[in-house]
Amino acid sequence: MSDFRLYLFKRMGYIAVTLLIISFIVFAITQLLPGNAAVLILGKQATNESIAAVEQQLGLNKPWYVQYTDWLVGFVTGEWGNSYLNDASAMDVIIPRLIHSVQLAALTLVLVICVGIPLGVVAAMKEDSIQDLAVSSFGYLGVSFPEFITGMVLLTLFGGPILSIFPFGGYEPLQSGLIPWLKHLALPSLTLTIILIAHVMRLTRSELIEVLESDYVRTARLKGISEYRVLFFHALRNALLPTITLLALDVGYLLGSIVVVEEVFAFPGLGRLVVRAIQSRDIPVIQAVVMIIAIVYTFANLAADILYTYLDPRIEYGEQ
């Protein structure tokens, strides 16, 4: 078995154990939430007989370990149960919202990579210049404000009566046209991008400055290699290694921040759905959403480790 296959096999085992632990914690927490699911479904005026019938139907009268096993097997096989509020399967409720949030997160990450890394490179190449000062100031400004303040400012400026360039909130499917779709994603994505760009830009700048002062870069310059080749074929590849790790961590940050941003912009995504589910104790939806978030985060870290090894062949699989 090759090193990569062995590493991947081990990591998948770690991921499976991690997700199993998370699933148990999620199940335990949702079971400890106050209130009775049957009462929430039927209402406070429900009789004891009707409550008992619903508990029997949902399996709520079974021992906790049986309920946990049934739920875990159901999640793995795609039977996520029925939403207590929407009179539909949890999967039918979650998947459309998940697609919306994935579109928002993907656009945000593309903007962060395409803008944050070049700005960090410019700041590093022009160290202590006006450009460096401007980029660094933007970075400090970006991390200084929480998401809801940044979102409200952008919404007031570009979605309110001042300019009215973008819609005030909501979502438009891609099938309605590329421009309407982008307009509805623009402000939520920009809110998330401003904060994440600051992280990526500052780290890229500091790492690239350090790499540019290293011995092998000096040697490359003494050999007469052009500054372009020194930057893009020698320095930048190594300077981006910590940025790759940061981007994986930012996926977790993004999953948390997206809840706030979706509330500010009334964006019908996964974050807004889970807030409503927690408020209404919609347990099947809560459990499924949290597991989806855990799966995304663990596999994002796996992808970052594999890319890290690809960018730096000196690192063998398992050394990250």
Which stretches does DSSP call E strand in the chain?
none
Q: Are 86 and 93 in contact (CB under 8 A)?
A: yes
The highest-level CATH class for domain 91-311 is mainly alpha
How far is residue 283 from each of residues 78, 270, 273, measured CA to CA in Å? 16, 15, 12
pLDDT mean across residues, the chain: 83
- Pseudo-torsion of CA 139, 275, 33, 290, nearest 10°? -70
Whether 235 contacts 228, CB under 8 Å = no
Read off the pLDDT of residues 174-230 as tens digits, 9 standing for 90 and up: 888 899 899 999 999 999 998 888 888 888 888 888 888 887 778 877 777 777 787
Quickly tell me which residue has 């000062």 as its tokens: 133
Ramachandran region of residue 224, left (φ > 0), alpha (ψ -120 to 50) or beta? left
* Distance in angstroms (rounded) separating the CA atoms of residues 154 and 243: 27
| Residue 185 confidence (pLDDT) | 92
Q: Which of 104, 205, 182 is nearest to 147 (CA)?
A: 104
CA 9 – CA 263 distance, rounded (Å): 39
Q: How confident is the model at residue 311 (pLDDT cuts 50, 70, 90)?
A: low
Return the structure tokens found at 272. Answer: 């807004």
Say if CB 117 and CB 240 are below 8 A apart: yes
* Confidence (pTM): 0.82
pLDDT at 296 over 70: yes
Task: Name the nearest CA neighbour of 121 among 241, 229, 236.
Answer: 236
Would you place residue 103 in the very low, low, confident or very high pLDDT band (cuts 50, 70, 90)?
Answer: very high
Residue 15 has pLDDT above 90, yes or no: yes
List pLDDT tens digits, range 266-287: 899 988 898 888 888 888 899 9
Let me know how many helices (H) and strands (E) the chain has, helices first.
15, 0
pLDDT for 245-260, tens place per residue?
788 778 877 877 888 8
**For residues 130-144, average pLDDT:** 81
Instruction: Grade residue 104 by pLDDT with cuts at 50, 70 and 90.
Output: very high
Which of 163, 164, 162, 156 has the alpha carbon at shortest distance from 191?
A: 156
Residue matched to tokens 């855990």:
294
Domain extents for the chain? 3-76, 91-311
pLDDT band of residue 24 (cuts 50, 70, 90) is very high
